Amino acid sequence: MEIYDSLLGAVCDEYDRVTLIKKSERGEVTLIRHRASGNRYIFRHFSGSSEVYRKLLTVSCPNLPQIMEVGEKEGKTALLEEYVQGDTLGEILQGGLLTAAQAKQITRQLCMALWVLHSLGVVHRDVKPDNVIIRGTEAVLIDFDASRIYKNENREDTQILGTTGFAAPEQYGLSQSDGRADIYALGVLLNIMLTGEHPSRKLASGRMGRIVQRCTMVNPEKRYKNILHLMEVL
């Protein structure tokens, strides 16, 4: 509670609002600038648990944004996050398709990010072009608002979140989503980088197409068993 209140106070007193990035029923994502240092940060304020973001406080990975501070009060979460400067993968793909080498490099880097998340018990659940920022030669996976902690006792997800076309079938209440849901979305993303289309409409050719096909099997048991297995195959 104290961190939540002090974070809200600090954002009002010490930071300038640069731009509103995203607004939804759940909350807002804002780019802010620290007046004294000039450094820019992402400020997230939303209704929901801070559990995933608190797990990420101690994480340092070049393919994930650094989470600085997290506070929760009465079902609302406020947090300060590193501002990752670059273009989203969605913006880059508007300029044309990627080569197989480029797509493979980005996919492997996203595997690294997901390996860190999965090792913490976190399922991202919203891997898509707009949630990947290309910073120089690094792909950074952002936005954990749809993420959840995998809980052994649950039979299905408590909230249906994700993006149509990228969300695995189990995210629609068929069963509880685990790391294999992210593998499904990553397969769709890989196919879009190579063909511009969802694999159900046009599948990438050759070996990459076979990798996409296995990632996007409807039955999670038939996908790669974990993100490291997919990394090895790539």
Contact residues for 36 (Cβ-Cβ < 8 A; gap 6+)? 14
Query: What radius of gyration do the chain's Cα atoms show?
Result: 18
Where does residue 113 rank: exposed (0-12), middle (13-18), buried (19+ CB within 10 A)? Answer: buried
Which residue among 16, 126, 178, 182 is the active-site one?
A: 126
Is 182 one of the catalytic residues? no
Quote the CA–CA distance of 125 and 145 in Å, as a whole number.
9
Of 193, 90, 76, 85, nearest to 145 by C-alpha is 76
Residue 101 has, within 13 A of its CA and on its CB side, a CA count of 1
CA distances from 77 to 1, 45, 137, 175, 190 (A): 10, 6, 32, 27, 32
| Active-site residue list | 126
